[in-house]
Structure 1
Amino acid sequence: MAYFVAPDSIVRRIWGTADTVLFIFAGAAAEFALNKAVDWLYFTGRLPADPLGRLFSTVDYARRIVFADRVGAEKAIDTIAAIHGAVEKKRGYAIPDWAYRDVLFLLVAYSIKAFEVLERPLTGPEHEEIVAVFCRVGQRMGVPGLPGSYAEWRAAREQHLAQDLALSPHSTDLYRQYRKHLGRPRYQLLRAVQGLVVPASVRIQLHLPDGSWINPAVKFYRLTKRWPASQWAKNAMLPSEYQARIHALDAAPVELAPPRDAAAVAAPRGCPFHKAVPSA
């Protein structure tokens, strides 16, 4: 059977673990709040209204691409592209190419950072594999100007961080929604995790903590995460009604049901980026 992502790929290991996935989306939620294309989140308003629901919708799509066979993965990517196109048509103009690249770049960045914080340093070939997988997603969607190597991605990533991020009223409102839906203790935990994984420029703009106070807990978790008692760490990040879905992220979903928002292609229910980027 042909796969979009090889069964032994490091990308499957990264996206097959609940704690790593949650760290990826914590970091990406911070960075995308600063993206100059964040106004697309507010065109339909679904993500600000339901950030946790959008998180799991995003996870459904990402894991379908990573774990399904090639045909299933390509169908999921085509659905993402169709949803984007439908919202662009409704709004009357296109999402810029650089915004699509930014989304792919931050998924590469936080896949790497989350795994290295929670597991171990990645090797050179593993870096190349992560870049290659997400660039294949972009190529399938028709995104131009994608890097051909990890070194090229790093250079483009630095340019993105310098040019495409800015604090805006949308940034402030998104964080207001994160706090509303998470509650104060989980919101503070989110900010601590974000401070641990985001680049310094993102941390400074969002006034995030540097992550130092949570570092000892993360190190302890790395040593004990195989113990049943360590599951509290995953449960602590999101409200109790999401715990079953969090634990389900640890299962390798080779055969996945269609994502819940697949029917949104004809009449999109959320902003285009909620399928490819996190909400909190």
Structure 2
Amino acid sequence: MKYFVKEDSIVRKIWGKSDTVLLIFAGAAAEFALNKAVDWLYFTGKLPADPLGRLFSTVTYAREIIFADEAKAFQSIDAIYHIHKAVENSRDSTIPDWAYRDVLFMLIFYSISSFEVLERRLTLAEKEEIYSVFKRLGERMKLKDLAADYKSWLPQRAAHLENDLVESRYTKDLFVQYKKHLGSIRYLFLIEGQKLVIPERVRDLLHFNHAHMLRFFVPVYKTSRVISVDRIIKNIILPSAYAKEIKELDVANSQ
């Protein structure tokens, strides 16, 4: 069987642990709130109604594609493509290509930054492999102007951060919704988790300070994984509404 991502790929290692996937989710939640095209998801009403569920489903889709055989992965990517086209038809307008690229770029960037926070520094070759996997996903989505390789992508990513992000009323509303759905304590953990992985441009636009409450917690958490206490910690700090999905990430990883 031919898989979309090789079985020994660093991408599978990154997306095969729930804590890394959840940190990817946290970073994407911060940056997505600043995206100039976020109004598209407000158009359907799904994002403000369930911002965590909407973002979690995006991350879950990506993960399912990464672990699927190539045929199923292509089917999933094609389905996502057609869902977005249906939204465009409903609004009688077109989602700009750069907006699709921005979501892809978030998956690339936070895959790297989250793994490096929780595990180790990645080699250039590993970063190239991560970029290559998501580039294939983007090409299947018919995205244009994707850089040839990771090193060529870096200035493209920098340009995105500069040109496609802005603090807007949607930004403020999304963070209000995050807090509403998480509660004050878990919301604090979300913010502190975001601080660990977001780039400086995102930090500045969100007016986050440089204090890192979780920076000192990460080594303790790594130790907890060794002695299998991490699941208890996750149950405490993560919303119970997503307990089943989070548990399934770990189950899938143990198969």
**TM-score of the two chains, using structure 1 as the length reference:** 0.87
Q: State whether residues 11 and 130 of structure 1, in contact with CA within 8 Å, keep that contact through their aligned partners in structure 2.
A: yes
- Verify the 8 A CA contact 1:5 1:12 in the aligned structure 2: yes
Q: Which residue of 1 aligns with 2:166?
A: 166
Cα distance in 2, alignment partners of residues 26 and 237 from structure 1 = 13
Residue equivalent to 1:118: 118
Residue 2 of structure 1 aligns to a residue whose secondary structure is: coil
- CA change 1:208–1:237 in 2 (3 A) is farther
Higher relative contact order (CA 8 A, sep 6+): 1
For the residue of structure 1 that corresponds to 2:226, the secondary structure is coil
Query: 1:59: Cα distance to partner?
Result: 3.2
Alignment of 1:205-244 (within 5 A): 205-244=205-244
Alignment partners' CA distance in 2, 1:216 and 1:254: 28
CA distance in 1, matches of 2:175, 2:29: 9
- Corresponding residue of 1:259: none
8 Å CA contact 1:131, 1:150 repeated in 2: yes
Residue type matched to 2:160 in 1? H
Q: Aligned runs of 1:1-280 on 2, under 5 Å?
A: 1-252=1-252
* Aligned mates of 1:252, 1:8 — CA distance in 2: 16
Question: Structure 1 CA distance, aligned partners of 2:206 and 2:226?
Answer: 33
Pairwise CA distance, 1:69: 0.3
Deviates more, 1:110-119 or 1:144-153: 144-153
SS, match of residue 34 in structure 1? coil
Instruction: Give the 3 Å change call, closer, same or farther, for CA 159–56 of structure 1 in structure 2.
Output: closer
- Provide, for residues 64-120 of structure 1, a one-character-per-residue CA deviation record: whole Å limited to 9, x for no partner: 210010000000000000001000111111111111111111110000000000000
The answer as to whether partners of 1:196 and 1:210 remain within 8 angstroms in 2 is: no
Distance 1:254 1:144, change over 3 A: farther
C-alpha distance in 1, partners of 2:65/2:22?
A: 17
TM-score (norm 2): 0.95
Q: Which one has a larger percent helix, Structure 1 or Structure 2? A: 2
Query: In 2, Cα distance between the equivalents of 1:85 and 1:187?
Result: 33
The CA distance in 2 between the partners of 1:209 and 1:189, in whole Å, is 15
Number of corresponding residues: 255
Q: How far apart, in 1, do the equivalents of 2:109 and 2:233 lie?
A: 23
Amino acid at match of 2:96: P
Q: Unaligned regions of 5+ residues in structure 2, if any?
A: none
Gaps of 5+ in 1: 256-280
Cα RMSD (Å) of the superposition?
A: 1.6
